[in-house]
A and B are shown apart, each in its own frame.
Chain A
Amino acid sequence: MKEVTIKIKEENKMKRILTIMFFMALSVVAMYGMADAITGQCSNCHTMHDSQDGVDGGGPNDLLLLGSGCGGCHTQNGLPSAPQVDKTSNLSAGGSFDTTTIATDDSMRHDVQDLSLTESAITSTPGKTGSILTVAPNALTCAGAVGCHGKHVAGMGSDEGIKGSHHAPNATYRFLWIGTATSPTAVLGTGDVDYEVTVSDSDHNVYSAHATQGVSSFCNQCHNQFHGETETGGPSSPWERHPTDIALFGSGTSWTAADTDLEADDAPIAMIDVTGKTTTTNYYSSGTIDETNSAVMCLSCHRAHGTANADLLRWSYAGILANGVKDACLSCHYKQSSGVDD
């Protein structure tokens, strides 16, 4: 009887140890490479009844938010503590939706309904044939079924799509999910704490070029003709469309890392494996480039929200001149440059 009791105790002890180890491992895996949950006073963002001193607060708004929709917090008229997506200076990594001085033309931004932006030049999503998500003209939202952030379950608007994301620690990069399932695939990566308002080779976002969880796989949900071997012309040059999620260096490529002039702000790269890569890891400067991991991605050239250049480019494509300094396109395409770093 005593033996049985001891055995049960040992089994229970082992179960507890295994449980603790499992959750420790799970938490490490979960925390690694993802953003933290939001912190701060609940009252910074929420109002329980949209009422103060017997007077309505102007809402009520979904999710009991002080402001209406995504723009209620994430614009210059919103919460100062929230990243603002319509700034005119000190822009963050995603760029800006501002139409006054930055993305002044339809071609320079994603026109999202939530910010009352409309698209007049195009009538269907570029490269959308056979895409996972189908967005009707002028139907794009910040989040939800026809949005970028949050879940993409059919019928979900921005508020329902993003619900819970801000409080979910380490779930996915910038609340970006792949797929339309209720439990979709998380995008890997680590967000810079100030969204790259300050950015350098050792202060930047960590993007992923994972085959199914990379940021280009995310963009592929709408712009699928611009991604993948079938659409871009095979696994190697000659390409038919500019490739994404392909290795820059190493076997099968003709480039040497030392000859490029990669920069986190100008021509960022993604990591095929983000393991061990943090927002302060310098994998841009000469001599620090991780040749086995570096890959080109959509965001190497584009900013997701908007820029001052056509096609949401990080630079003016019309201004890129062959035999120029290693800048913009020529940061990678050094063979077409003058050989001089910018």
Chain B
Amino acid sequence: MGSRLLKLKSSNIFLVILLLFVFILVSSQAQAGVSGTCANCHIMHNSQDGDAVDASGPNEYLLAGGAEATTCLSCHSAASGATWKDPVTQAPIVWNQSEPTFNSQKGLAGGNFYWVGAGDDTKGHNVYGIAGVDGNIGSNPAPGKHTNATCSSDSCHYTLAQPPSYYIFGNGGCEGCHTKVSHHNDSNGWYRFLKGHGNEASNDYVVGVEDDDWEFETATDHNWYKGTTAVYNNGALVNQNTITSFCSGCHGAFHGPLTAGEGMGSDSPWVRHPTDIQLPTDGEYAGYDPVTNYSTEAPVAWVNPGTPDRDEAIVMCLSCHRPHGSAYKDLLRWDYVNMVAGTTGGSAGTGCFTCHTGKDGL
């Protein structure tokens, strides 16, 4: 009886610790509105001592810096490669005009626009204010644009590099993806302000748990992305709320069942690298357990980001790519050319081989 009581007490203590841990975890990563003095970001009349604060202003939302549509960059860029957070506004830096040096991954979770801004169109999304229209893609639509996505060429489904007046919805550039910027209200649950075309009441937004330092460091915590095993084509963000269903809005031919040459297939053998599927638990994939050994180099999403379970680990677009940009072609998290199968060389155990553990030489 005494022994049983002891067991009960132990289990209770364990439960309490677990609950505390979960509470702390959730608290530290909960979404919250921006904080700080209003003057950090806003100027009421674009006027100070008789002069304009921003010579090219005034700006929308009474923002202090930046011209139309590049306003984002006034807080979210930095000249120095060492700056990861704006020293005044505390905004995360997504475009360093010198090569990022503040961490080993050379950028925050979304990557960095440095390389595309420096002229390499293959290494970032070409966003207005940072880079002109992609010289390789030209007037072609976004790679993998699904024919179901009927938005015309004056939409973000073709380019993010045009000025706002170019777009049918009036928002391109950063707002082509971060369509509903909501710095003062994160209670709406829009992960990183990633949302579709719908109005504010619409359910077409991405769900996830945001790391409070945007993965400036990844040793202690990281983002938790949402995934699903549901079968869907593009246009399903409103139902799925996953990061992959969001990317599929512009790159939908890379996802979903195969129809008329578009899609990834429905099962192995896949015809395109699958996304929003379960990371298999058997075979070579059993060698990667992101519950116990999560890789921020090759992250996964979860059916329930708040309660990760190995059986619900999901392959997603961001398992391989960084949406802003990276030091590698195709915005990859690693250099695909350096991924060499069947060897114990430098790429073994990294990149593709994080999941494909049986294809390196280890």
Contact = CB atoms under 8 A, between A and B. Distances in A.
B337 interface: yes
Contacts of B337: 41, 43
Interface in B326-362: 336-343, 352, 356, 358-359, 361
A43 B336 CA distance: 7
Interface string A54-66: 1110011111100
Contacts of A37: 341-342, 359, 361
29 contacts: A37-B359, A39-B340, A39-B343, A40-B342, A41-B338, A43-B336, A48-B273, A48-B336, A49-B251, A49-B253, A49-B272, A49-B273, A50-B272, A51-B144, A51-B253, A53-B140, A54-B134, A54-B136, A54-B141, A54-B143, A56-B261, A59-B261, A60-B258, A60-B271, A61-B271, A63-B270, A64-B271, A160-B269, A163-B269
Contact of B340 (A41, A55, A167): A41
Contacts of A164: 283, 358
B2 interface: no
Given A51-B144, A54-B137, A40 B269 contact: no
A38 B359 CA distance: 9
Contacts of A48: 272-273, 320, 336
Interface of B: 134, 136-138, 140-144, 251, 253-254, 258, 261, 264-265, 268-273, 283, 320, 336-343, 352, 356, 358-359, 361
Given A51-B144, A64-B271, A36 B340 contact: no
A168 B338 CA distance: 20
A191 B358 CA distance: 21
Contacts of B320: 48
A42 B352 contact: yes
Contacts of A61: 271
A169 interface: yes
Contacts of B134: 54
Interface in A54-85: 54-56, 59-64
- Most chain A Cβ neighbours within 10 Å, of B272, B352, B361: B272
A167 B343 CA distance: 11
Contacts of A167: 341-342, 356, 358-359
A119 interface: no
Given A43-B336, A168-B358, A50 B342 contact: no
Contacts of B358: 164, 167-168
Per CB-CB distance, the 9 closest pairs between chain A and chain B, nearest first, are A39-B342, A54-B140, A60-B271, A54-B137, A62-B269, A53-B136, A48-B273, A42-B339, A167-B359
Given A38-B342, A169-B342, 4 more contacts: A49-B143, A51-B254, A160-B269, A167-B356
A55 B144 CA distance: 8
B270 A62 contact: yes
Nearest to B136: A53
Nearest to B263: A60
Contacts of B338: 41
A56 B343 CA distance: 31
A40 B258 CA distance: 29
Contacts of B352: 42
A37 to B, nearest CB: 5
- Most chain B Cβ neighbours within 10 Å, of A36, A59, A63, A64: A64
A45 to B, nearest CB: 9
A291 interface: no
Given A64-B271, A159-B269, A40 B340 contact: yes
A29 B320 CA distance: 36
Contact of A39 (B143, B270, B271, B341): B341
A49 B352 CA distance: 15
A62 B258 CA distance: 11
A38 B251 CA distance: 31
B340 A42 contact: yes
Interface in A11-54: 36-43, 48-54
Contact of A64 (B136, B270, B361): B270
B341 A42 contact: yes
Contacts of A38: 341-342
